A and B are shown apart, each in its own frame.
Chain A
Amino acid sequence: MDSYTEKLTVEAAELYEYDTVERLPEIIASFRGHGAALSDFLDSHGCPRGNDSEGKAAFLKDKFKSAGIDPAKARNVVKWLTEPNGFERETGFRIAFSLDLTVEETNEFFRTVMLDRSFDCHTIREAIYYYCIYHGKDYRTAEKLLSEIPQPKKGPVPNSTDVLYTKNIVVFLQNCSDDELLLNYFRENLAQFGYNQVKAKEYIKLLWKNISSPNGLAAQERKYFPVSLKPASAEESDSTWNIYLQILGLDLEDVKSIEADRTIKPILNNAVFMHQFTAENFPNRQSIEKMLRGESTQNDLIRKTLILFVFYQFWMNTALTQKAHKSYEAGKYDRERCLTELDQYLLDAGFPEMYAGNPFDWIFIWAAGRESPMQAFRSYWQLLSAEYSEKKNAL
């Protein structure tokens, strides 16, 4: 674990609820941008330490050149290193080729620098990158292979029995070391590359079913922990909106001052207590409904939704085992257990594991370490809600 990750991990472990108002803005400010993350990554991957941005840019340009990547593709390299907003995924893969990263190192690069999933092998482009990096083939080979394959049309996910899951594609890519065989595989299965995120969406549907069904976790929480919850609108308690608010520990009173249709986006905008990356693509009612309909959404949004749902599922199941005492308290090892289950869901759905350096993940890692994680998570939302109300009143 690098010092940056370690520092944030320690912060997550040591920040108590009563300190959040005071310390959280400071912690949020300490999250590095993509540029700084790239800079740190280069430090640990061959770039002489002590180099400034210019030096690192030159190092990376050289690497591009020797990897046979068009130098024009690296003309914004200084920007990549200095600005917080990041760069295209395509650039990420070029950097991986240029630094001769392995699959595992590429995964790590995407997790810690891009804060995104690495190879989405359900897209032909990234499957070819995976194939080349896994088998030690260079970027030129990847470009050549890409030029020989037609692009698939985007289409709906077929019936479950016809789905070609990403993990099966990966197994094929690992076992195939012949380019021609690979091209034939793509040609034969072209239609299967017109959709992606199948497994992740399956998980989200399953998790939502566990949470929202008539005897699901949300209903059970309302039944056994009525005192702990704010009184949401009873008639609508099973609606996506109400359950969503229940998960966050908000109720209609908290959101009634928002002049928008069933959204909490205004609370997230420019919140002092929320990192911008966390607020971007934060799961909301509309996105959840979209995913449940199987519509395509951004990777980041899917990953965040998955984390939110798994987190709620884990801690509600834990709470229900002690419903007689109406307790949300975590047991021994529950923090580790929760984070492991989160990792398992993420990895199985093709996303990077939880990472303390990711501001969104950090909130959950922090909450999981508290005495009553679900309550801690909800207290954070109360903080955001209060901040919003204050700002609104000030206007």
Chain B
Amino acid sequence: MSIRTALPINTELRFGPDTCFTIKGEAGRGASCIVYDAVYQTNAGDEKIVRIKECCPFDIPLKREPSGALSCPESSAGRFADVKAHMYADFRLCNRLFYTESSSDAIINTLNIYEANNTVYIVSAWARENVLSSIKLDSLRDHISIVRQTAAAIRSIHQAGYLYLDIKPDNISVINSISKRVQLFDFDSLVPIESLRNRQYSSHQRLSYTRGFAPLELRRGQLSGLGPHTDVYEVGALLFFLLFGHTPEAPDCVRSAVYDFSAVSGSSAIPDRLVILFTEFFHKTLASFSRDRFSDMDPVVEMLSEMERIADPVYPCLISSPVNSPSCFIGRSVELESLASWAEDESQHVLFVTGMGGIGKSTFIRHFLADHREAWDSIVFLFFRGNLRQTITDDSGLRINGTERLPEETEADYFERKLQKLREIMERDRVLLVIDNIENYGDPALGQILSLPCRSIFISRMPLGSLNLPVLPLGSLSDEDDLLKLFVHYLDRAVEADEVGIIHEIIHFVDGHTLALELLARQISNSFLSLSDACELLKAKGTLHIDDLRVDYLRDNHISYEYLEVIIKQLFETNRLSSAEISLLKALTLFPAPGIDAREFMRLSGIDSAEPVSSLVRYGWITRGADRVLYLHPLIRDVIRDFPAEDRILCNVESVLRTLYRDIVFESHKEEINIRDPENIPAELQNVDASEILTDFRKLNASVTAARGVIDAVSNDAQLSGRPLTRKLTHAMIVNLPKHEDEAILNYGMALLDHPESLTALEILEVYEPVEKVLLTRQKYDKAINLMKRAEKYAVDERTKAEFCGLESNICDFRGEPEDHRKMFTLLEEGIAHARLAPPPERKHLLAEFLLGKLNAFTRSGFDDESVINGLVNELMEIIEKECLPYSEIRCGFAIAMGFYWAELGRDREKVDKWCSIAREIGKKLYPAGLDFIDNCVIPPAIMYFDLGDYDDSESALQEGIRICDDHPEIAAYVRKKNDLRHYLQDVYHAAGKFF
């Protein structure tokens, strides 16, 4: 019976006159040894730590004598001698590995081997490392790094000709240096690869391994099955253990294994890409069947390196907003204390900071955050953008690394996705969310934002009213000295003693309103006004009464603003700002906070020089944010918005509206450029190859989005919203809204159709079209018919009559009643007749659209009069060759129509393939976004193959569409499309007899 007794603590192990180690305790046991922590004294007199491994096999009945010696029965003496010899061999091997250039870092430094107590001792250098099994690693990246380094060390051991066979946390120490470093320290288990190949290794020799970390071939003791792939499994098992907290089991090792990464600590931070790599890594390391594993350690190390890169802790995370300390912050010590108490109290999740506009709420919060930045992992400081959903979805304000709104994604879908991403990050990180200038506590998204697992501060001018939530109201600065300091700071000069009294008078006029005080000081500083003149002016107007201002504001938002406007307007008059400057400010009201890029603003508002803008920034009228973003303080913005809409101060506004309109029209009408008429080609495209002229949908969408923001900004401004240019821009915006924005199309469209003044009949009918299509898609046929009754009066000439025929035929096409078919043919014929008489330059395009409609209708109805169809095709081809760009929707539509013709009537598969291929080539250039590509170039070919009975090809086409959708699993539009495709696929399977 073997009971292995360790040497007692403080035993002195003497290996010669000058070599003495003192045992400090048992560190662990292996199959053949007991390991001790020990020390020795250096010549300088201080202690150094070592590890000592004593040969003491568990399966030999050794007895510890009082002297410390191990006595071995005669019957086991031979076996004991073998183990000791093996230990000598291990020592030599370890030394050899240590001096191998590539591995010295990761192999323990064995110092010497000694004999005493009838056994053998190996002494190794040791530092205060931690054994991997006993420490907690900080991050996912650390876990991967440790495993990657272990794999690299094992690779060196393989290169030296050995298998390790016992990789486990107990055999790995982690050294904390600049980064975490690993070191292997147990080499009992090593087996020479050559001896396995030559079958020299006896199956009676015991293989060391650890259950849980050992693959099947090792557990079975199947020597011929061992190889580098055995260690590959163990490296996989090590990573698995570090991630999941338990070793892999059978279900984790089969070819079809799936892993639940939600069980991994901090799983919300695992990037999607890493989840895919982890799965692939485990499939290729943990496979029960060894041939399915990586055959050696090279690809293991390579893949771990890639995973380590992706697991960088900054991914994914919130990108904190820059929160700069204000250049001047004075006073408010009581409020700062209150805010600090709130920040320290973790049970408080939300705080509303309220107070009138311009009182310094944002400055107060910014000042506090600049001093308390370290209390949070991320601080997100957002400007309210009309509603909370828009505020959150605005990627320029709230940025999440690796997450952005995609062109096809609706705001509602992206809001939900972004909120989910935020929730995941906030569960991991300490996040402070600040939303500045929230205007509506009834915002439907407020509840969702309040439920986020973060701390939030909402800054608002509105009192909280009956809402029972923590609030910190900010009033005026009450300390006269503080206000004096503030005024002098912005006056930017020393004040004379006799001026102090005047400043106090001015302070009284604004009742400590910090913005007004700041503006006054800046104006006085930059104008001809002396302090006394300014004061006299304010006195003369006599409009500022402290109590009125504050009380009125709290009771009625609108009334209080009027008083503030008086102050600000007073400043305008006193400063004698030019109408050009006022015009600029008026234009900037179109872009509420967080504002607009300075250069883009200059382009849109038609300003050649930056000077007027810079001047307004200098005087404090315009606020310049990070990254050259310009915006107006809400107080100033509201006042400017109320300035009378005189033409002289609207020139920049007009420029913004006109430029945006031109941007949209230019991009959306590229297809109608006649390539054979050089004079008709816009200057920007004169030297561009025809094959390169195609609508840039990203650019178009950006312009449409900007136009929508501007239209929203002017919506409450009767003077601006009714201007002809605004209506033109609204028209251009509506007809170019992406089709998934159906709700917006209806809302903006119906509003414009109710007030279509200033639009031409054709423009009005163009707005009817997307609105009608939304109704038809929703199967609201009666509403669509009523709408057409309203539209009929705009069909006044050949062009508009053609347009109206198109609108009417849409109803027939969507509804598909028996009588609709015949009616549609009649309408298409009428449309063609009107199109032929329509004026150039659009005539040909219009005609081509109707001819295409007719060709499609023929094909679908099975009409097979070849001469009629040939006539149609020839006319279409002529127009297309002469008039259309190489990459145009009409060409794509024509190719698809021809494909249908050969599928339905010609029954010629080769020709179908040819036309589908042309459509795809055009589609790839035209529709990079994916969804349109599926609609135009994936689904039609699938239908053609289906109709031809080629179900496998039909399935392949649909699968391609599904794959495209799978690339965007988080976008609802793609998920809906994927569902549609799956339904089609079911039809294909059904037709192919793949169901019961």
Which residues of chain A have a CB within 8 Å of any CB of chain B? 104, 135-137, 141, 167, 170-171, 175, 177-178, 199, 203, 206, 222-224, 226-227, 229, 231, 234, 313-314, 317, 324, 326, 333, 336-337, 340-341, 343-345, 347-349, 353
Let me know if B722 is at the binding interface, CB within 8 A: no
Residues of A within 8 Å of B989, CB to CB, are: 223
Per a CB cutoff under 8 Å, which of A175, A203, A231, A317 touches B256? A317
B211 surroundings in chain A (CB, below 8 A):
167, 170-171
14 further contact pairs, Cβ within 8 A, besides A206-B251, A337-B255, A341-B253? A135-B2, A136-B1, A136-B59, A167-B211, A171-B211, A177-B3, A177-B4, A203-B251, A234-B996, A314-B255, A317-B255, A340-B216, A344-B253, A347-B219
Q: Which of A206, A317, A333, A347 has the most CB of B within 10 A?
A: A347
> In the complex, which residues of chain A have a beta carbon less than 8 angstroms from the beta carbon of B4?
177
14 contacting pairs across A/B (C-beta < 8 A): A135-B1, A141-B1, A170-B211, A171-B211, A177-B1, A177-B2, A222-B996, A226-B994, A226-B996, A317-B255, A336-B289, A337-B288, A337-B289, A341-B250
Q: Assess A333 versus B289: contact at CB under 8 Å? Given A167-B211, A226-B995.
A: yes
A203–B2 CA distance with the chains assembled, in angstroms: 37
Contact B996 A333 (CB under 8 A): no
Q: How many Å from the CB of B760 to the closest CB on chain A?
A: 55
> Within the complex, what minimum Cβ distance (angstroms) separates A310 from chain B?
8
Give the chain B neighbours of A170 by CB distance below 8 A.
211
Contact indicator A313/B289 (Cβ below 8 Å): no
Q: Report which residue of A136, A229, A336, A348 has the largest number of chain B beta carbons within 10 angstroms of its beta carbon.
A: A348
Q: Are B255 and A341 in contact (CB under 8 A)?
A: yes
B955 within 8 A of A: yes
Q: Which positions 4-40 of chain B face chain A at CB distance < 8 Å?
A: 4, 29
User: Is the CB of B58 closer than 8 A to any CB of chain A?
Assistant: yes
Complex: how many Å from CA A223 to CA B58?
57
B974-996, CB < 8 A from A = 989, 993-996
Contact A324 B955 (CB under 8 A): yes
The distance from the CB of A293 to the nearest CB of chain B, in whole angstroms, is 21
Q: Is the CB of A345 within 8 A of B212?
A: no
Contact with A along B955-967 (1 / 0, CB 8 A): 1000000000000
Complex Cα spacing A135 to B58, Å: 9
Instruction: Judge if B463 is at the interface, Cβ distance under 8 Å.
Output: no
Closest A-B pairs by Cβ, 10 of them:
A344-B288, A345-B250, A317-B256, A337-B289, A348-B250, A340-B289, A344-B250, A340-B288, A226-B996, A341-B254
Q: Does residue B453 face the partner (Cβ distance < 8 Å to A)?
A: no
| Residues of B contacting A177 in the complex (Cβ-Cβ under 8 angstroms) | 1-4, 58
Of A171, A175, A223, A347, the residue contacting B216 (CB under 8 A) is: A347
A378 to B288 alpha-carbon distance, docked (Å)? 26
Q: How near does chain B come to A89, taking the closest CB pair, in angstroms?
A: 23
Q: Which residue of B lies closest to A333 (CB)?
A: B291
Give Cα A177 to B6, complex, Å.
13
- Find chain B residues with CB under 8 A from A226 CB: 993-996
CB closest chain-A residue, reference B216: A344
Q: Which residue in chain A gives the minimum CB-CB distance to B251?
A: A206
The total of Cβ contacts below 8 Å across the A-B interface reads 85
Complex-state Cα separation, A123 to B4, whole angstroms: 27
Q: Is B625 an interface residue (CB 8 A)?
A: no
B251 touches A224 (CB 8 A): no
B220 on the A face (CB < 8 A): yes
Which residue of A has the minimal Cβ distance to B58? A177
Chain A: minimal CB distance from B494 (Å):
73
If the complex has contacts A203-B250, A324-B955, are A341 and B289 also in contact, measured as CB distance less than 8 A?
yes
A224: chain B residues within 8 A (beta carbon): 994
- Chain B residues near A227 (CB, 8 Å)? 993-994
Contacts of B996 in A (CB 8 A): 222, 226, 229, 231, 234
**In the bound complex, do residue B254 and residue A349 qualify as a contact, i.e. CB atoms below 8 Å apart?**
no
A29 to chain B, nearest CB (A): 30
Enumerate B197-232 residues with CB–CB distance to A below 8 Å. 211-212, 216, 219-221
Tell me the bound Cα distance from A348 to B250 in angstroms. 6
Nearest neighbor of B60 in chain A, beta-carbon distance: A136
Could you tell me the distance between the alpha carbons of A313 and B255 in the complex, rounded to whole angstroms? Answer: 10
Q: Kindly report which residue of chain A lies nearest to residue B956, judged by CB atoms.
A: A324
Which residues of chain A are within 8 angstroms of B995 by Cβ–Cβ distance? 223, 226
Q: How many angstroms between the C-alpha atoms of A231 and B58 in the bound complex?
A: 61
**Cβ of B292 < 8 Å from any Cβ of A?**
yes
A388 to nearest B CB, angstroms? 26
B921 within 8 A of A: no
By CB atoms of chain B within 10 A, which of A226, A231, A326 has the most? A226
B216 pairs with A343, CB closer than 8 A: yes
Q: Are B250 and A178 in contact (CB under 8 A)?
A: no
B249 at the binding interface (Cβ < 8 Å): yes
Of the residues A199, A229, A333, A344, contact of B254 by C-beta under 8 Å: A344
- Determine the chain B residues whose CB is within 8 A of the CB of A231 once the complex forms: 996
Asked if B910 is at the interface of the complex by the 8 Å CB criterion, the answer is no
A343 proximity list for chain B (CB < 8 A): 216, 220, 288
* Nearest CB of A to B42, in Å: 36
The reply on B335 being an interface residue by CB < 8 A is no
